[in-house]
Amino acid sequence: MPSEQKSSKAFKPSSLHSLRVLIGYVEVMKSNDECLREKMVLTRIGLAGLAVMGQNLALNIAEKGFPISVYNRTTSKVDETVERAKAEGDLPLYGFHDPKSFVLSIQKPRVIIMLVKAGAPVDQTIETLSVHMEEGDCIIDGGNEWYENTERREKAMVERGLLYLGMGVSGGEEGARHGPSLMPGGSYEAYKNIEDILLKVAAQVPDSGPCVTYIGKGGSGNFVKMVHNGIEYGDMQLIAEAYDVLKSVGKLSNDELQRVFSEWNRGELLSFLIEITADIFGIKDDKADGYLVDKVLDKTGMKGTGKWTVQQAADLSVAAPTIAASLDSRFLSGLKDERVEAAKVFKSGGFSDVLSEQSVDKEKLIEEVRQALYASKICSYAQGMNLIRAKSIEKGWDLKLGELARIWKGGCIIRAIFLDRIKKAYDRNAELSNLLVDPEFAKEIIDRQAAWRRVVCLAINAGISTPGMSASLAYFDTYRRGSVPANLVQAQRDYFGAHTYERTDMPGSFHTEWFKIAQQSKN
């Protein structure tokens, strides 16, 4: 097949491949005929689930020289993928309409990547495929799955003699096609079976190599991808706030915004998200006058990973206010009708006049918003890294934070030049408690904090919400203080709930009859 047949096609019962599948089946049934085994021609890997991400990843694998079998429950998707493979260079991709032929077409130990919707569809696909698999074969879930589901499935597969990986795949359809960031976690043996494929398929960064590494045990790959997505939520929110301040307070046009973001993308903010933001501002509406971005409804969708990240932060007692603020902002954006009515209610309160009263130096505002955005990003990434670190300690995963920053430098949605600084920070100190106290990041925060504060104050005075920037600033201001008002909160807890407290001047746990003492002092 891959070595003898150059054209890509979906195989049908009458095809030559059916004979080879039959030969393969005979071999699976333990035939001792070595001659038959020599005649077998099998693919290197399989992929099940041919929606946008699955199709593009399959074509990427084939383009890198690895013959691949593909399968989808909806057979038209198989044919569509085969046609794409033919059109995009006669790639060694082979389609199958039934799961048995699909599985038996892959060389041993078989490796199959699934790219299907998280939850029940994953379990259903595993059941469909695993009945045809043998001991030592491997299944890889490449979707955005809850990490505990991956750990459950890995244990179940071990009982069947199968290997299992949960692999985060980031980069969207373009990344999947031309080089994603890959985050595989689970069976190390399974990872080594396909390491050669992943190293070539992943995004390639000249100074740091392929954007893939073995993440760790269990569901670590899915967990890291989940937090990556949470950081992505924060990044997108911060960029949206920068846009809002520049547009609403600075009165920048879309042409000016495109120029500003393009310029930012040549400096310390250079990143995929800044790049595409600049592109968005330049797109004219093809259905009406004006720019398309102004016609997009201000309701943000989500698929759950940001919510999971915030929930995990709460469970692990890790502060992640910037990511939480971005999630809250998505929730509030969904209340479009309520917000429209609220705008009418509060218009009489003079809120609509606040912006018209603002007079700003446009170029100064642009520079200060740039600095505020960068400083806020540092805090957001610090929160995400601390969350990964806390989970790694809890689960014994021994995750390497610097290595995670390295594999995020290319392919993924949050790829940015900024990540190189994060990698170097962890290279300097692998046990770094927080990115904020890395000497280089600390200096960058100090240099930008005045502009950051001015932007947040300006936005507040203009009635423009900047929850992400404000949350990042509050996180920084709390973290940098040796004393915070938590002493009063703890005293309140002891007052009404006898929760006890510690003292600053002596060891031990204490409880005070606050109510009795207060009453005595009033008499």
Q: Which residue has the tokens 């670590």?
A: 220
Residue 499 assigned as binding residue: yes
* Cα 61 from Cα 484, distance rounded (Å): 53
* Cα 480 from Cα 34, distance rounded (Å): 71
Helices (H), 249-320: 254-264, 272-281, 305-315
Residue 50 assigned as binding residue: yes
* Cα 306 from Cα 144, distance rounded (Å): 11
* Cα 156 from Cα 38, distance rounded (Å): 34
Q: Comparing C-alpha atoms, which of 283, 238, 257 is closest to residue 381? A: 238
Residue 56 assigned as binding residue: no
Residue 54 assigned as binding residue: yes
Residue 330 assigned as binding residue: yes
Residue 73 assigned as binding residue: yes
| 95: β partners | 10, 70
Helices 220-248 and 321-333: crossing angle in degrees, nearest 10, is 70
Residue 171 assigned as binding residue: yes
Residue 53 assigned as binding residue: yes
| 6: β partners | none
Catalytic residue among 217, 225, 377, 391: 225
What are the structure tokens assigned to 498, written together?
A: 């006898």
Conformational region of residue 325, where left means phi above 0, alpha means psi within -120 to 50, and beta covers everything else: alpha
Strand 111-114 to 93-96 pairing? unpaired
Catalytic residue among 27, 151, 232, 444: 232
* Cα 119 from Cα 135, distance rounded (Å): 25
CB 417 within 8 A of CB 205: no
Strand 209-210 to 163-170 pairing? unpaired
Residues in the chain: 523
Residue 233 assigned as binding residue: yes
CA distances from 270 to 2, 210, 509 (A): 41, 20, 50
134 is catalytic: no
The count of C-alpha atoms lying within 13 angstroms of the C-alpha of 251, restricted to the half-sphere facing its C-beta, is: 8
- DSSP one-letter string for 398-449: ---HHHHHHHTSSSSTT-BTHHHHHHHHHHH-TT-S-GGGSHHHHHHHHHHH
| Cβ neighbours of residue 420 closer than 8 Å, sequence gap 6 or more | 207, 208, 405, 409
Burial class (CB in 10 A: 0-12, 13-18, 19+), 342: exposed
CB 102 within 8 A of CB 1: no
Residue 117 assigned as binding residue: yes
232 is catalytic: yes
Residue 172 assigned as binding residue: yes
Residue 74 assigned as binding residue: yes
Give the residue ranges of the annotated binding site. 49-54, 72-74, 116-118, 144, 170-172, 228-229, 233, 303, 330, 493, 499
Give the residue ranges of the annotated binding site for NADP(+). 49-54, 72-74, 116-118, 144
- Please list the active-site residues: 225, 232
Give the residue ranges of the annotated binding site for substrate. 144, 170-172, 228-229, 233, 303, 330, 493, 499
